[in-house]
Amino acid sequence: MVAILVGAFGVWKLSGSSATTTHSNKIYTINIGSHPIDGSQFHTKNRALENSIQGVQKAHKKGLKAIDLDINKSKDGVLFAAHSPGLVGKTWNQVKKNNPHRKYKISKLSDLLREVAKYHLQANLDIKPWGNKWDDATFASIAKMANKINVKVTIKASTNDKKLAKALSLAQAHGFWVRSNAGTFKGKKLSGNGWKPGVWVKPTTTVH
């Protein structure tokens, strides 16, 4: 599909990408370099692999305000960005060794947030299921990381997964704006499980 994105320098059309609107000033977010129409995720002239340092740089060059990052946690507790269920349950060293994209290294969340902050973007973190454990300590860690780096972070999740619906409440309690993903999955409308899909909800504590 073709997504229409409004950046600092005008309107952009990116094939194969998805766009959503955040709570703040109608900022659009994008999986920069998400799956091209042919299914390949590798770099082409007009895109870079999603969740990569190059993807953040591409977002900046396109004049966009924010970027989506798919977040997972390694077996030994390292937060990293990748859209690869097969990497969950592995140690950080195993994740790096099993990287399916040789041209792009898998980055820790902390490294990506530094890159996001460098270009004054906003990070929209899409927390993934696949066996990831999203507990209170994890969101406390993300909040501490974001504050130290001084970067704006929001949290979203597919709340058709009840554990992720509960995780959003934990994120809220650590000062994050949160929302349930909107749209459909395998032809079925996503369930809210107590959340209204697509609607940003304010934090329940001091705003991060």
Whether residue 67 contacts residue 29, with contact meaning beta carbons closer than 8 Å, is answered with: yes
Task: Give CA–CA dist 164/173, Å, rounded.
Answer: 14
| 188 confidence band (pLDDT: 50, 70, 90) | confident
Among residues 72, 82, 127, 71, the alpha carbon closest in space to that of 104 is found at 82
Checking DSSP bridges between strand 152-157 and strand 178-180, what pairing results, if any?
parallel
Degrees (nearest 5) of the Cα angle 200, 202, 204? Answer: 140
CB atoms within 10 A of CB 135: 13
The DSSP H or E segment spanning 14 is strand 10-15
Ordered alpha helix ranges (H), the chain: 53-61, 92-97, 109-118, 136-149, 162-173
Domains contained in the chain, CATH given: 2-189 (3.20.20)
The answer for residues whose C-beta is within 8 angstroms of residue 100's C-beta and 6 or more apart is 84, 86
pTM of the predicted structure, to 2 decimals: 0.78
Q: What is the mean pLDDT of the chain?
A: 77
Mean pLDDT on 134-144: 96
| 170 confidence band (pLDDT: 50, 70, 90) | very high
